[in-house]
Structure 1
Amino acid sequence: MKVLHISYSYDFKDGGITTVVEQLIREQKKTKIKVEWLASNLFLSPFKRKKLIKEILKINPTIVHLHGLWRVHTRITNDLLKADIPYVITPHGMLDKWALNQSQLKKIISWYLWEKKALNNSSFIQVLSSGEFEAIKKINSAWKCHLISNGIFMPQKKELKLNEYPKSWEDKIPRNSNVLLFLGRFHKKKGINELIKAWEIVSKYSYSKNWWICFAGSGNLKILKKFDNKSLIKRIIVSKPVFDLEKEKVFRNSSAFILSSFSEGLPMAALEAMSYGIPCLISENCNLSETLNIGAAIKTNPSVNEIIKSLKYLIKMDDNEKKKISKLAYNYVSINHNWSNLTSQLNDLYRSVCEDIL
């Protein structure tokens, strides 16, 4: 069996979907199936779209796995059907209510021209959480949906030496500081504006004097568009995206992680933070309700008052409480987001679709 994954971009700056696809492919290559990957942003114009179809036919996949909606690759599903190539779709949270309300007119037009038909004709829809499952079923209960979450690669249990400090923090954040980490794409749906306003209030109180906030990622961060000394006075730093060892250093030197989003599919950064045993503040919109229910994460929401309340709670927690949350988070992720198990489930579903071919 040959699986072709199509996402919008190969660039990790595009968000968590790229990370998911890269990790899923890495895990699938350990199995007996063949895997290919195409980025549809290389075929944006109508003329290049034909090249995308030709490239797909050249690869000759047994099944195509489309990641995300509202982009080029969901506009070619008719061509896939004509070529007798079955396909599956993972919306990655793009059918959530908040997401649907953004650029609403464009999405309504796209919905009736391409998206609805693409979803109707998919072999199945992979949903990443129970919250997403419920949201999609409200749109069309007839769609065949399977809940298979995203996974992560668990970090090795090791302690970095004190001198292994993130390069972006050197000469900016004192080494004995506590750091609240935001890692990801700078976008309004992440609740960043609300977080910054909340931080500007919290940072004035004496109980937070040893705390800093680090924004690591890429995108549009309007409130902090000028990263000058004023940001350092407020104990805020902003760094470029981090990868590999530098990313590990950032996680291992952070005291907490926050994602106060309005909408998410399933946030990889939050799962990664939990895998490092970092106490996480997450909104209910992160589709990780079980972690909140079992005490493996701290609830926040994308409003200034809610963020202030959760930050105050975090900062005033004692060490035993933090250790308890860390342990619960690590155990939750290691059990529920193991790539090996999840990939096996997905491969079985591919085979059920293609059994007549195999």
Structure 2
Amino acid sequence: MVTASVSRNAGGIFHSVRSLSRELAGSCQVEVVSLRDAFSAADAGVWRPLVPELFERVGPRQWGYSPGLKARIGRNGASVVHACGIWMYPTHAAADACRRKGIPLVISPRGMLDPWALRNSAWKKRLAGRLYENRNLRSAACVHALCESEYESIRAYGLTNPVAIIPNGIDLPADGPKPPPPWTDKVASGRKVTLFLGRIHPKKGLPNLIEAWGRLKAQNATVADEWALVVAGWDQGGHEDQLKTMVSEKGLGGDVLFLGPAFDDAKAACLQNADAFILPSFSEGLPMSVLEAWSYSLPVVMTSECNIPEGFGAAAAIEIRPQADSIADGVKRLLSMPDAERRQMGANGRDLVAAKFAWPRIAAQMIDVYKWVLGQGPQPACVRLD
């Protein structure tokens, strides 16, 4: 398994690649190769029993060039190489090694070929595609899509490789005592909480969420005063400061709380104590945060760009568009529901992840793909050739 980061720096990819690797390790030998970063040592323990091999970067951080990583992949005795994420050097090194040694390569773009993602720093990605990434992608024995929408994006990009559609998975939390909410001293007792949990990045649609929250408060102060919006996550590129300025200008300082990063026990405490979850993203692969929210039986408000249409079909989520008007309508519907109806939405979400997104089921499908690209098994039902 090759990935650019094995720490929280990778956002949701960190959780999904780690959990998939650990589950696969129950059925085959798994070696994880990655780059060292500021949090890789702190997060190493959550990979156990796996021990990722980490290598230093040389040159620009965003590219992730690492002679040590290249040498390690070059002497890899793996039967299959699975690279997670694109555009950075680790996947390029993996593709180069696989071409030279005749090893089947599986690439998981993880939403990075979706239209919104391609428009972000578009000229850099067009150049990278021409220089190396298009060749790397075309050389893959199979490309892994998280959902139907990502499959369509892969085909729209011009790739004709076989594509395996396998979603992310989730571990259902064990029952236990509920810890105190991380916002105890900041949100009045009895006030309900709508939670955003994830990377604070423009693609998450948070400015439109704040705009929508302000409109709701102006339209119905009583309902809005019964709820608070808690934003928990790590800042990327100073976006959080922009959002805080927006909250201040709109007079929402008592309604919108920025909690900062929340990992491990702190993240679990957020999910256990929230009353609802929202993700108004412009673009996602298949967000772990929504699966986690459902695993804690939270009702969800999300855009169709989150690529989990099953949630709408299962009555576990309210569908919105990533614009302020639509977000306001969706949140108003959620806040106006009877408590029992919201609880049923959350229960529907937990049933959905238990049935479709459990890691043993996901890992079994991935093993079938590995066997197929090795010529050791039939074409799996999740693989499309068209």
TM-score, with structure 1 as normaliser: 0.90
2:333 to 313, 323, 329: 313
2:13 corresponds to which residue?
Answer: 17
Shift of 1:228: 10
CA distance in 2, matches of 1:11, 1:141: 30
**3-state DSSP class of the match of 2:319?**
strand
- Map Cα deviations across residues 185-241 of structure 1 (whole Å, 9 max, x no partner): 001110011111111222342211111111111122233346999987432111222
> Which of the residues 188, 194, 197 maps onto 1:180?
194
- Asked if residue 257 in structure 1 is aligned to residue 277 in structure 2, the reply is yes
Q: Deviations over 1:152-194 (max 9, x none)?
A: 101123452xxx2133x13111231100100000011100111
Equivalent residue, structure 2, for 1:218: 234
Displacement after TM superposition at 1:270 (Å): 0.6
Judge conservation of contact 1:128–1:149 (CA < 8 Å) in 2.
yes
CA shift, 1:48, in A, is 5.0
Q: Which residue of 2 aligns with 1:63?
A: 80
State the secondary structure of the residue aligned to 2:73. Answer: helix
In structure 1, the residue corresponding to 2:160 is in which secondary structure? coil
- Find the partner of 2:67 among 50, 65, 69: 50
Q: Which amino acid aligns with 1:94?
A: M
**Deviations along 1:282-332, whole A, 9 cap, x unmatched?**
000000112113321011121111111111111000123212211211111
Distance 1:20 1:178, change over 3 A: same
Partner SS state of residue 43, structure 1: coil
Q: Is the 8 A contact 2:232 2:262 kept in 1?
A: yes
Q: 1:329 to 1:353 in 2, by over 3 A?
A: same
The answer as to whether partners of 1:200 and 1:234 remain within 8 angstroms in 2 is: no
- Where in structure 2 are the equivalents of 1:91-170 lying within 5 Å? 91-140=109-158, 142-160=160-178, 164-167=179-182, 169-170=183-184
Cα distance, 1:283–1:48 mapped onto 2, change above 3 Å: closer
Could you tell me how far apart the structure 2 residues matched to 1:40 and 1:92 are?
Answer: 20
Q: Is the 1:265–1:286 contact (alpha carbons within 8 Å) kept by the matching residues of 2?
A: yes
> Residue in 2 aligned with 1:192?
206
Structure 1 contact 182–214 (Cα < 8 Å) conserved: yes
| Equivalences, count | 348
Equivalent of residue 339 in structure 1, options 350, 356, 359: 359
Deviates more, 1:30-39 or 1:295-304: 30-39
Aligned 8 A contact 2:231 2:258 in 1: yes
2:16 maps to amino acid = V
Is the alpha carbon distance of 1:125 and 1:228 closer, same or farther for their aligned partners in structure 2, counting shifts above 3 Å? Answer: closer
Match of 2:301 among 275, 278, 281: 281
C-alpha RMSD of matched pairs (Å): 2.3
Structure 2: gaps spanning 5 or more residues: 38-55, 377-386
Counterpart of 2:352 in structure 1: which amino acid?
A: Y
Q: Provide the TM-score with structure 2 as the length reference.
A: 0.84
Give the secondary-structure state (helix, strand or coil) at the position aligned to 1:234.
Answer: coil
2:222 maps to 1:202: no
Aligned in 2, Cα 1:50/1:253: closer, same or farther, shift over 3 Å?
same
Shift of 1:72: 1.2
2:266 aligns with 246
Q: 1:124 to 1:9 in 2, by over 3 A?
A: same
Contact 1:212 1:236 in 2 (8 A): yes
Unaligned runs of 5+ in 1: none
* CA deviation profile, 1:261-295 (whole Å, cap 9, x unmatched): 00000000011001111010000000011211332
User: How far apart in 2 are the matches of 1:80 and 1:40?
Assistant: 23
Cross-structure match for 2:2: 6
CA separation in 2, counterparts of 1:58 and 1:74?
15
- In 2, the alpha carbon distance for the partners of 1:235 and 1:138 equals 42
* Aligned equivalent of 2:24: 28
**Separation in 1, partners of 2:131, 2:106:** 19
Pairwise CA distance, 1:350: 1.2
Query: 1:95-142: per-residue Cα shift (whole Å, max 9, x none)?
Result: 111111111111111111111111110010111001111221223362
- Counterpart contact for 1:257–1:281, Cα < 8 Å: yes
Structure 1 residues 256 and 55, CA, compared in 2 at 3 Å: closer, same or farther?
same
Aligned partner of 1:247: which letter?
K
Separation in structure 2 between the aligned mates of residue 18 and residue 66 of structure 1, nearest angstrom: 13
Q: Which deviates more from structure 2 when the two are superposed, residues 27-36 or residues 296-305?
A: 27-36
